[in-house]
Amino acid sequence: MRDHKCKALILDLDPDVLIALQRTLEDGGVDTTITWDRGEAQNLIRSTPFDVTLIADHPPEIRAESTVREFRPHGALTPCLILRTTARVASREPLQQLGVVAVIPKRDPDKVLQEVQKAVS
């Protein structure tokens, strides 16, 4: 990882997932900011430099791909990870064009930490 502590923003509506991810990432040396509100996430992205953003796709209200598309004009040029209930995705190409570097299962915090470390190394 870089010389400074990696900063990650995590957007998900499931508090249990947020807490599990925050604990694992913090234990792995990642400074995390969590939110379950899309508007708050946009404001955070405008005001805080993050090294990586993690956006959940479930529940469906979040719609990860459209959220990433909305965040791009507001400065979210950092690597983005999509957190899915499962890692299956029909086509990764549209996601890669948006700056998504990985699609990972959100209920596997250790895998999420590995992908965050890869994304910022």
CATH of the domain at 34: 3.40.50.2300
> What is the reported pTM?
0.82
Per the structure, the complete domain to which residue 112 belongs is given by 7-120
CB contact at 8 A, 101 and 119: yes
**Which stretches of 14-121 are DSSP H helices?**
15-27, 38-47, 64-71, 93-97, 109-120
In a domain, 40, yes or no: yes
pLDDT at residue 56, rounded to an integer: 85
Tokens 């909305």 belong to which residue?
Answer: 70
Specify the pLDDT at position 73. 59
Domain count, the chain: 1
Does residue 46 form part of some domain?
A: yes
Full pLDDT tens readout for the chain, 121 residues: 445 789 999 998 888 989 999 999 999 999 999 998 888 988 898 888 899 999 887 655 556 677 777 766 555 567 888 888 765 655 566 667 677 888 888 889 999 999 999 998 8
Residue 81 included in any domain = yes
Using the 8-state DSSP alphabet, how is residue 5 labeled? P
- Tell me if residue 79 falls in helix, strand or coil: coil
Q: Can you read off the two tokens belonging to residue 77?
A: 């040029």
**Backbone dihedral angles phi then psi of residue 11, each to the nearest 5 degrees:** -115, 115
Q: Report if residue 2 sits inside a domain.
A: no
Contact in structure between 10 and 24 (CB atoms under 8 Å)? no
The pLDDT of residue 1: 43
